[in-house]
A and B are shown apart, each in its own frame.
Chain A
Amino acid sequence: AQKVTQAQTEISVVEKEDVTLDCVYETRDTTYYLFWYKQPPSGELVFLIRRNSFDEQNEISGRYSWNFQKSTSSFNFTITASQVVDSAVYFCALGSGNTPLVFGKGTRLSVIA
């Protein structure tokens, strides 16, 4: 069965600090995709990134970066120089062609000014 574990329930950082959100997944599929979504207080899930299982290159987008390591089944998300607007709940998710999208329980990030 597919499973996503986000062990950090809540993280609090001071503005401008870097923060890494952990995501560990389990799957028997050889082809799968990993996703990160942001859920601000307004409630709407905002898509951040999609990564396929055959592409282990790290990705950087502005202050956001993602580290995908198949050897440890992890897909961690780092925010550099965090800002108050980054405060939200962040979800990691796993999907394949055979199964629906499975989400972790989320990590609540609070960035304090």
Chain B
Amino acid sequence: GAGVSQTPSNKVTEKGKYVELRCDPISGHTALYWYRQSLGQGPEFLIYFQGTGAADDSGLPNDRFFAVRPEGSVSTLKIQRTERGDSAVYLCASSLNSGRGLETQYFGPGTRLLVL
């Protein structure tokens, strides 16, 4: 079946603007995760959804970052007042159940965000 999809694949914005990044998980997967990957680094956890609710948002760097998953499927990561330091690849992953770090997570291709 289809894997995790993310749109857009690339996003260029100006400092101070608002952006939305979308993730469509594997059908039937109840858990959804957002990560941020900076150049030369491994992915860093941002937020984890179990169904519609955010079960762990401890990785969000500040209150400019917010994510929703209103119907328990598609998720949107929202960044307000973007800063140049927000430039990174934003990865989305999903897993079948809600085992957090115990389950295999399947990743999407990522959205490359560049803030000018």
Contact = CB atoms under 8 A, between A and B. Distances in A.
Given A43-B89, A44-B107, A100 B101 contact: yes
Given A96-B101, A100-B100, A44 B108 contact: yes
B109 A43 contact: yes
A52 B59 CA distance: 24
B45 A102 contact: yes
A98 interface: yes
A45 interface: yes
Contacts, number: 72
B42 A95 contact: no
Interface residues of B, number: 27
B44 to A, nearest CB: 7
Nearest to B101: A95
A42 B43 contact: no
B13 interface: no
Interface stretch (A11-19, A30-38, A54-62, A63-71): A30-38
B2 interface: no
A99 B101 contact: yes
Nearest to A47: B104
A94 B101 contact: yes
11 contacts: A32-B101, A42-B109, A44-B107, A47-B104, A93-B42, A95-B103, A97-B101, A102-B45, A104-B42, A105-B40, A106-B42
Nearest to A96: B101
Interface string B85-116: 00001010100000111111111111010000
A86 B107 CA distance: 19
